[in-house]
Amino acid sequence: MLKSIEQIKSNLLELLAASDLDYGKILRLSGELSAHDPDYLRFSVDSAIISRLGQQLVAREETAVSELVKNAYDADAGEVRLVFNAADKPGGLLFIKDDGVGMNRQQLIDGFMRLASTDKIHQPKSPKYGRLRAGRKGIGRFAAQRLGKSLTLITQTADSKRALRLKIDWSLFEAERDLLEIASRLEQIPKEREYGTTLIIDGLREAWSDREIGRVYRYVEDLIQPYSLFNKRLTSSRDPGFQAIFCRLIGGKEIVVASEEKMVFDYALATVTGEVDDIGRGKWSVKSSQLNLAESNRISTVEHSPGIAFEFIRNIRFTAYYFIWSTEYVAGHQLARLQDLAAVRGGIRLYRNGFRVLPYGEPSNDWLGLDAAYRKREVLPPIGNSNWFGFVEIHDAEGTCFDETSSREGLTKNVFYDELVEFLTGSLKAAVLRIAAARGKKQKAGQKGYKKKHSASPPAGLAQAAVDLRKTSESLQKSGDSTSARTLQGVAVYLETAAVESQNLIQELAMLRVFASLGLTIGIFTHEVRTRLTALRCDVHELFDTKSTKEEFEEGLVTVDTHLKMLQSYSSYFDSTISASVQRELYPQELSEIVHSFVREFAPVVRRRGITFDPIDIESDLFTRPMHRSEWASIFANLLTNAVKAIKRAGRGDKGKLSIKGWREGKTLFVDFCDNGDGIPEENEEKIFDAFFTTTRTAKSTTSDIDDLTGTGLGLKIVADIVSSAGGTIYLASAPKNFVTCFRIEIPAATEKEKQHE
């Protein structure tokens, strides 16, 4: 019941006269008083807006976590550590701790606690390092609400004497309560550290697998890539970089799940380490789990005493991660990303007494002669700077061995420097030759006794090698050695031809993969056509029944017409799929049109098995990078047959459900294909994309049902290969409500230039 103005005034006066003000009641009465204004109306805000905005602005939990990481970046943090505790199921804890500048009371009020804050608009760059703000404006609080049921925020600045602690219970923000009525307690507590912010999110709404944590890391890695790969100090005062580390708390210990090291260095083919001890003994080691290789070797020379390799250098250590840029060793969806990273940050960096020494390890700086060695074919395996991420540490506290040049750009080239280079180049070359031997590859030109172990895939880098040869030929021509120049030009032409032929072979393999996958589509449609023809024959037979009434005859004609239209529809879809397969030209594919065409043709197929497509939610204008249309037909056909089998095993009856959702985030397209079948056992999650892995019984030669048309274990392998060849990835994601299994495809979106050539 609405209070009178006099009652409200009286209550307000009583509250204002009290020594201990009740701010909540004062705000509520002020709101009630404004309702009596006869001439003006004011917006009121229901407290449920917090949860509604959380669901709309932050639809996915991965996005929510990435936004909180971006807030740490915006706060000039050098590191943010995320620790998941008991988060393998809903109800766990998430700690997000950064070493940023922190917030004072006013910043907390004006920023975090103010909806639609303009703080990042007025201050587009961070205060300390001038970073361009990465977080979306005002989404952080909604991200915290999206993730868990409560939030504790602890923050302190360098000049504050105490820390601030804010506790928010999101369950209080329920419908039919005014937003101003809900207060969250802010208190001062002793500082836990000099500066920085900690978020504690309790009652996580979703379970978090290691795979999902890895995806969050990939969302924020763009913030990490512009900086150093190694956690070392730099000599300059510029931004020291930003790193995010994702962990699980297990048995009281933080176990790293995703970090710069795991998301980059774990893809290395081998790790090479080495040291020179305090008496000059040198040693290098190489380890590779992929090649089952683990060796250590001493470095010795004839110039020195037995076992003593180096006369001058002491206490030198290096670590280098070796990459070969091939899908044989690096997953296709990671290959381009890591190659781009290596182009600007590859090589061996040098740290002296803990500080980075420039320009060693910078782009185009070949201080160890690795690029030159590869160009001269001193060793045949790849050994250039772009094949390495590494660093060497030297200790020279007195500065008597490794002197800096007068310009502070590099070290003076003396006997210590020369031995350092000798140690590093000798170790790296020896390790690369050992890796090549383990791979069954030729190591040096004219190598005796070499016999190829197996037929290799088309050699990578032929085109680039041809370019390098032409450059060398031009240099020889200018120096007057025209004979050698012509020879190299001839070799370059040969390599260019080989590169074209290799590319043709790759394209042929892609086409063979598509045709192999289309066999499944043929099987499905053969079964459907057979079923329709059987029904059609029965219907035609009934039409000739002289006992049929006129109404029954007309109904029979309608049924026959329906079957004929369905056969025509199948024929049209199948014809377009096959026609697309024989076209060698690749074009950007529009997913919305492909999905709706697929659903339109397959809905009757699954409907007879009690399965419906619900929902289908595909954004428009989702153009993939250039692909074959038939590749997407193969992808969806394989996912469909797997889903149908899973739903049948689950015994869903006529309540089977399939869902397809597609959307875009930045330069990446996402497609979710979900079902409510019996799910995939955890022990099989990492195997399902392996060739010949299957849980389906062997099909009989006389079988005709859709769930027995596959069972070779090649379906998901083919899907993964198609997606990978397009620069994407497929994996199991968290299934939405009412579904059990969700395959998620990430694939690059077409560029504007690619769409113009569609």
- At the second CATH level, the architecture of 587-758 is 2-Layer Sandwich (3.30)
Q: Which of 319, 314, 422 is nearest to 367 (CA)?
A: 422
* Rounded distance between C-alpha atoms, residue 338 and residue 387, angstroms: 10
Task: State residue 458's pLDDT score.
Answer: 43
Is residue 99 predicted with pLDDT exceeding 70? yes
Among 157, 173, 156, 174, residue whose Cα is nearest residue 165: 156
- What is the per-residue pLDDT across 376-398, written as a single tens digit (0 to 9) for each? 777 888 899 989 999 999 988 77
> Any idea of the CA torsion for 544, 546, 552, 555, to the nearest 10 degrees?
20
Burial class (CB in 10 A: 0-12, 13-18, 19+), 374: buried
Model confidence band, residue 248 (pLDDT cutoffs 50, 70, 90) = very high
Any residues with CB less than 8 A from the CB of 87 and at least 6 apart, and which? Answer: 93, 94, 204, 207, 208, 248
pLDDT computed for residue 322 by the predictor: 96
Among 4-18, 49-63, 244-258, 703-717, the least confident range: 703-717
CA distance 78 to 541: 79
Query: Are β-strands 741-748 and 729-733 bridged in parallel, bridged antiparallel, or unpaired?
Result: antiparallel
The domain spans of the chain are: 5-34, 49-262, 268-439, 459-584, 587-758
What is residue 750's DSSP assignment? P
Amino acid at 726: A
Query: Residue 598, Cβ neighbours under 10 Å: how many?
Result: 21
> 437, 451 in Cβ contact below 8 A?
no
Residues with Cβ < 8 Å from 52, sequence gap 6 or more?
Answer: none
pLDDT at 457 over 50: no
Q: Decide if pLDDT at 147 tops 70.
A: yes
Rg (alpha carbons) of the chain, rounded to whole number: 33
Q: 551 vs 111, 282, 541, CA distance in Å?
A: 74, 97, 16
Pairing of strands 150-156, 656-665: unpaired
What per-residue confidence (pLDDT) applies to 275? 94
Show the tokens assigned to 384: 């250039």
Where does the pLDDT of residue 490 fall: very low under 50, low under 70, confident under 90, or very high at 90 and above? confident
Q: Domain 268-439: give its CATH code.
A: 3.30.230
Predicted pLDDT of residue 725: 80
Comparing 397 with 423, the larger pLDDT belongs to 423
CB atoms within 10 A of CB 56: 10
Least confident of 353-362, 539-548, 607-616: 539-548
d(CA 749, CA 591): 10
Residue 84 has pLDDT above 80, yes or no: yes
The residue that leads in pLDDT, 3 or 566, is 3
The whole-angstrom separation of Cα 618 and Cα 624 is 13
> Average pLDDT, whole number, for the chain?
78
Burial letters for 303-319: b for 16+ Cβ neighbours within 10 Å, e otherwise?
Answer: eeeeeebbeebbebebb
Write down the pLDDT at residue 505: 67
Token code pair at residue 66: 């990435």
- pLDDT above 90 covers a percentage of the chain that reads 25
Mean pLDDT comparison of 200-204, 295-299, 394-398, 596-600, highest-scoring range: 200-204
Q: Are 160 and 102 in contact (CB under 8 A)?
A: yes
Least confident of 66-70, 237-241, 280-284, 448-452: 448-452
User: 481 — phi, psi (to 5°)?
Assistant: -90, 75
**Quick one: tokens of 250?**
């297990």
* CATH of the domain spanning 49-262: 3.30.565.10
For residue 311, give the nearest of 448, 171, 416 by alpha carbon.
416
Same fold? 49-262, 587-758:
yes
pLDDT tens, residue by residue, 633-654: 888 888 988 898 899 999 988 8
Q: Which residue has the higher pLDDT, 454 or 101?
A: 101
Amino acid (one-letter) located at 151 = L
With bands split at pLDDT 50, 70 and 90, how would you rate the model's confidence at 631?
Answer: confident
Residues in Cβ contact with 512 at an 8 Å cutoff, skipping those fewer than 6 apart: none
Are residues 232 and 354 in contact, defined by beta-carbon separation less than 8 angstroms? Answer: yes
Mean pLDDT of the 350-373 span: 86
